[in-house]
């Protein structure tokens, strides 16, 4: 009868482990391991905390075995947990240094306190395992849309019950003017999962562009199948959004597919986003075409692109300006976010006025610097000349071929342009010297007089000052000292190395170690 009772208790232990594992959806071995740890803790309180106690539960029978373990070492420092090799071989003749000897211990009856402690250890381990399972499960779901039920709302933050875990939609991740109350169904995008001491923190969003992209993927089978690709999304949550799509099948219209029959597909997305208006735009690999499409519904007359700075100037009809900019700049801001380009919008009148101002300024430059009549200066500007350098160093034929010019006039204009540039350079050098820039810097290869002045104004006045710089400090687009001169990284490095050249003057090349050893080993009579 006693053995039958013990057997029943043993099986009951495994049944409890299996029930807990099933309820918490964690591995049964994790629960059994937690029980083993609890038994070990209780046994240490009985036999002494200084001992190394090991508990094992048979996964088949539920039988519990206790051992006192010793590490086999050369020299014993802790008699409670260590044993010499000689003593260990009394128990196991084949044991080696680094091995372990286990001595069986009699089973113990748990007292009330020990049982309570064991229960706490088991529950803590189960909670830890459950949290880890939740973390791994939802970590794999980052980037997906998930459904849940609002559990409560705290200071604008929405706590969501996902079934087996809780998530949070922070106040800034809720669409403006959107109100949730306990019990509401909610759909949101998982953008982050973090480990926390109180369990995994799952962060949801309804405002991120990716949420809209996922909604379209759910509503448009062609996107889910990969026939249509979402290239970019820009949102002003709750108000307006733009989405750029591309079709990989010439027979499928990406915009039409996303709109759906009578707008059914896009309306399903709009409804989920609290009436947020959505502009669906066909993506183009040609930036100018894409940007013009992104500014819809405004019409564009002309674009001027600066590819280096990813900036584009867009000219629209006067009556389209407010449409292109949008309410509080919304349309142009979303178009900029969608395309990744900075967009400047001008009306046709503004662009015409600016062209006239530029024409006048360049004409005045040539009139003054070349000492010519206004008519000649205007002819140069009309032919596309904008700087003195272009006039000075262009092929003579290009100047002489201008209507009303001949070779003699062309040569004279070039001579005057060269003289004007030399005078300007001389003035810049004088300005640099007034700033305290040393002569060695003003004559350095790769630097123009204008660059030297810019360096002087930045406090770079000696070769050492310049040599201490890195190329980024010269050419960084935002903070580089010489960023206005469009130097390449190679050109910047060449300037810096030229400034450092005097650091190495008079130094001999280091001698190869093999040559030194050979000379040291040579007999005295062999040396010259």
Structure tokens at 239: 């108000």
Mean pLDDT along residues 210-231: 92
Structure tokens at 407: 């070779």
Q: Which of 32-46, 479-493, 500-514 has the largest mean confidence?
A: 479-493
Structure tokens at 235: 């949102």
Check if the beta carbon of residue 193 is closer than 8 Å to that of residue 138.
yes
For the residues of 416-484, what is the DSSP string, one character each?
HHHHHHHHHHHHHHHHHHHTT--HHHHT-TT--HHHHHHHHHTT--SHHHHHT--HHHHH-TTT-TTGG
- Please give the order of strands across the beta sheet that includes 311-316: 302-306, 311-316, 342-347
Check if the beta carbon of residue 150 is closer than 8 Å to that of residue 160.
yes
Cis peptide bond upstream of 393, omega within 30: no
Instruction: Find tokens 């502009």 and name the residue.
Output: 279
508/249: higher pLDDT: 249
Check if the beta carbon of residue 169 is closer than 8 Å to that of residue 205.
yes
Beta bridge partners of 82: 71
Cα dihedral 73, 79, 80, 84, rounded to 10, equals 30
pLDDT of residue 158: 93
Domains of the chain from N-terminus onward: 2-133 (3.30.1480.10), 141-207 (2.40.50.140), 435-504 (1.10.150.20)
Greatest alpha-carbon pair distance for the chain in Å reads 128
pLDDT of residue 521: 45
Give the β-pairing of 201-205 and 166-169: parallel
- The set of long-range contacts for 377-381, using a CB threshold of 8 Å and a minimum separation of 24, is 379/403, 379/404, 379/405, 380/413
Q: Is the pLDDT of residue 7 over 50?
A: no
| H or E element, residue 234 | strand 228-236
Structure tokens at 511: 């001698």
Q: What is the pLDDT of residues 73-86, one digit of tens each?
A: 888 888 788 888 88
pLDDT of residue 267: 92
C-alpha 433/C-alpha 499 separation (Å) is 18
Q: Report DSSP state, residue 340.
A: T
Percentage with pLDDT > 70 across the chain: 89
Q: Which of 238, 325, 229, 327 is nearest to 285 (CA)?
A: 229
- The set of long-range contacts for 512-519, using a CB threshold of 8 Å and a minimum separation of 24, is none
Give the β-pairing of 157-161 and 166-169: antiparallel
Cα 97 to Cα 24, 52, 93, 102: the distances in Å are 42, 18, 12, 14
7/109: higher pLDDT: 109
* Cα four-point dihedral sign 442, 444, 448, 454: negative
Beta bridge partners of 103: 68
Cβ count near 251 (within 10 Å): 6
Q: Is the pLDDT of residue 245 over 70?
A: yes
Can you count the helices (H) and strands (E) in the chain? 22, 15
Q: Which of 125-139, 227-241, 443-457 has the lowest mean pLDDT?
A: 125-139
Mean pLDDT along residues 500-527: 51
Give the β-pairing of 185-194 and 145-154: antiparallel
Structure tokens at 365: 């430059």
Structure tokens at 398: 């290009």
pLDDT of residue 101: 81
Q: Which of 463, 415, 472 is nearest to 442 (CA)?
A: 463
Q: Is the pLDDT of residue 310 over 90?
A: no
Q: What is the pLDDT of residues 382-436, one digit of tens each?
A: 888 888 888 888 888 888 878 778 888 888 888 888 888 888 888 888 888 888 8
> For residue 89, how many C-alpha atoms fall within 13 Å in the half-sphere facing its CB?
9
C-alpha 3/C-alpha 7 separation (Å) is 6
Q: Which of 112-116, 200-204, 430-434 has the lowest mean pLDDT?
A: 112-116
Check if the beta carbon of residue 126 is closer than 8 Å to that of residue 33.
no
Q: What is the pLDDT of residues 432-470, one digit of tens each?
A: 888 888 888 888 888 888 888 889 888 888 888 888 888
Q: Is the pLDDT of residue 146 over 80?
A: yes
Cα 194 to Cα 142, 186, 191, 197: the distances in Å are 11, 21, 10, 10
Check if the beta carbon of residue 411 is closer than 8 Å to that of residue 397.
no
The phi and psi torsions of 185 (rounded to 5 degrees) equal -80, 145
* Cα four-point dihedral sign 103, 109, 114, 115: positive
Q: Is the pLDDT of residue 208 over 50?
A: yes
């Amino acid at each position: 009868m006693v053995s039958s009772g013990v057997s029943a208790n043993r099986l009951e232990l495994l049944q409890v482990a299996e029930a807990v594992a099933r309820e918490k959806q964690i591995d049964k071995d994790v629960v059994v391991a937690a029980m083993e740890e609890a038994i070990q803790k209780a046994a240490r309180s009985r036999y002494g905390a200084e001992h190394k106690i090991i508990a094992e539960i048979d996964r088949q029978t539920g039988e519990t075995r206790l051992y006192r373990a010793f590490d086999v070492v050369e020299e014993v420092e802790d008699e409670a947990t260590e044993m010499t090799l000689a003593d260990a071989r009394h128990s196991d003749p084949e044991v080696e240094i680094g091995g372990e000897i286990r001595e069986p211990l009699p089973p113990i009856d748990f007292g009330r306190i020990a049982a309570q402690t064991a229960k706490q250890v088991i529950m803590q381990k189960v909670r830890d395992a459950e949290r880890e399972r939740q973390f791994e499960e939802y970590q794999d779901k980052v980037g997906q849309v998930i459904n849940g039920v609002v559990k409560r709302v705290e200071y604008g933050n929405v706590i969501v019950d996902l079934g087996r875990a809780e998530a949070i939609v922070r106040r800034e991740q809720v669409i403006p003017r959107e109100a949730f109350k306990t019990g509401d169904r909610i759909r949101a995008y998982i953008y982050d999962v973090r480990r926390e001491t109180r369990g995994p923190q799952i962060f949801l969003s309804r405002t991120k562009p990716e949420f809209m992209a996922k909604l379209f993927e759910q509503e448009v089978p062609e996107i889910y199948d990969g026939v249509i690709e979402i290239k970019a999304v820009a949102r002003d949550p709750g108000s307006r959004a733009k989405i750029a799509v591309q079709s990989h099948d010439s027979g499928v219209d990406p915009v039409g597919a996303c709109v759906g029959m009578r707008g059914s597909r896009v309306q399903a997305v709009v409804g989920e986003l609290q009436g947020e208006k959505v502009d669906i735009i066909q993506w183009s690999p040609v930036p100018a075409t894409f940007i013009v499409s992104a500014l819809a519904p405004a019409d564009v007359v002309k674009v001027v692109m600066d590819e280096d700075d990813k900036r584009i100037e867009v000219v629209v009809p006067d009556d389209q300006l407010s449409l292109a900019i949008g309410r509080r700049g919304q349309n142009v801001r979303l178009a900029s976010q969608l395309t990744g380009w900075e967009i400047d919008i001008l009306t046709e009148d503004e662009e015409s006025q600016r062209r006239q101002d530029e024409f006048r300024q360049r004409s005045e430059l040539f009139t003054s610097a070349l000492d010519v009549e206004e008519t000649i200066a205007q002819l140069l500007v009309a032919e596309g000349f904008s700087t003195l350098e272009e006039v000075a160093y262009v092929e003579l034929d290009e100047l002489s071929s201008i209507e009303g010019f001949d070779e003699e006039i062309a040569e004279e204009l070039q001579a005057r342009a060269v003289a004007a540039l030399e005078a300007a350079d001389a003035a810049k050098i004088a300005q640099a010297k007034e700033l305290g820039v040393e002569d060695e810097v003003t004559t350095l290869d790769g630097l123009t007089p204008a660059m030297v002045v810019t360096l002087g104004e930045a406090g770079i006045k000696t070769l050492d000052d310049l040599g201490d710089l890195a190329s980024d400090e010269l050419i960084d687009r935002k903070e580089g000292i010489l960023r206005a001169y469009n130097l390449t990284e190679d050109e910047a490095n060449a300037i810096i190395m030229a400034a450092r050249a005097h650091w190495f003057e008079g130094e001999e090349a280091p001698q190869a170690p093999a040559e030194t050893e050979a000379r040291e080993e040579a007999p005295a009579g062999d040396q010259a």
